Amino acid sequence: MVTFRPDISYATAREKAAKQSAVLSFAGHFGTAFLSATALYTAWSLNNSLSLRRNDGNRPGVQLEFLPSSPRALNGD
pLDDT at 14: 87
Is the predicted pLDDT of residue 2 greater than 90, yes or no?
A: no
pLDDT at 26: 97
What would the pLDDT profile of 18-66 be if each residue is shown by its tens digit? 999 999 999 999 999 999 999 999 988 888 777 655 445 555 555 555 5
> What is the distance between the alpha carbons of residues 29 and 36, in angstroms, rounded to a whole number?
11
Question: Domain map of the chain by residue range?
Answer: 1-39
> What is the distance between the alpha carbons of residues 52 and 58, in angstroms, rounded to a whole number?
9
pLDDT at 27: 97
Tell me the average pLDDT across 57-76.
Answer: 57
CB atoms < 10 A from the CB of 71, how many? 8
DSSP string, 39-71: HHHHHHHHHHHH----TTSPPP-----SS-SSG
